[in-house]
Amino acid sequence: MNDEAAQPTPAEPTPNVSPPRDDEALRKLLLFLPRLAKLVAQLVVDSEVATTDKLLLGAAILYVASPLDILPDIIPMVGQLDDIYLVAMCLLRLMNHSGEAKLRQYWDGPEDIVAVLGKVTDFATRYLPSGVRTQVRNWVEVRSNEPPG
């Protein structure tokens, strides 16, 4: 038997591409959150935004800050996803009333805020239990039946 045939062939060199680093993802998240807070704050004081939309955004922020959640925040990732999903749904509701331009007017991040909201809802659809998504949507939609203003 030929010993050379039994020897494993050396692995081909891999391109020098490193996976995204956790600290880079954390840095992006830490920069995103203050921009999101700034967006919400500016929308809440904008005279062109309906009062109901302002109240929903304020209530969503209180929910995020509250220790009482549909899914407790101690559950990794999913515990925070219901929070961001609620904020995203409130921002999408506001966008439906006021237009994309209103969100873009106050967004100062490099990301496309409308695309980010779409990604949040897509992610929530995949990872949040359907009952949680339904509760969040119902909470926002019930209030959507109220006249803006």
Q: What is the pLDDT of residue 77?
A: 75
Query: Angle at the Cα of 30 (from 27 to 35), degrees rounded to 5?
Result: 125
Residues 83/134, Cβ–Cβ less than 8 Å: no
**Which pLDDT value is given to residue 12?**
54
Domain boundaries in the chain? 45-149
Nearest to 96 by CA among 133, 39, 45, 52: 52
Measured N-to-C along each axis, helices 78-98 and 51-65 cross at an angle, to the nearest 10 degrees, of: 170
Nearest partner of 113 among 87, 131, 134, judged by Cα: 87
As a whole number of angstroms, the distance between CA 110 and CA 26 comes to: 16
Lookup: tokens for 148: 């803006």
- Which is more confidently placed, 9 or 31? 31
99 DSSP 8-state letter: -
Query: Per-residue confidence at 18, pLDDT binned at 50, 70, 90?
Result: low
Residue range 96-102: mean pLDDT, rounded:
95
Which pLDDT score is estimated for 1? Answer: 54
Residue 94 has pLDDT above 80, yes or no: yes
Q: Is 140 a residue whose pLDDT tops 60?
A: yes
Tokens of 76: 């990794």
Q: Is the pLDDT at 89 greater than 90, yes or no?
A: yes
Q: How far is CA 39 from the centre of its chain?
A: 13
42-74 per-position pLDDT tens digit: 999 999 999 999 999 999 999 888 877 777 766
pLDDT at 25: 72
pTM: 0.74
Split at pLDDT 50, 70, 90, the class of 75 is confident
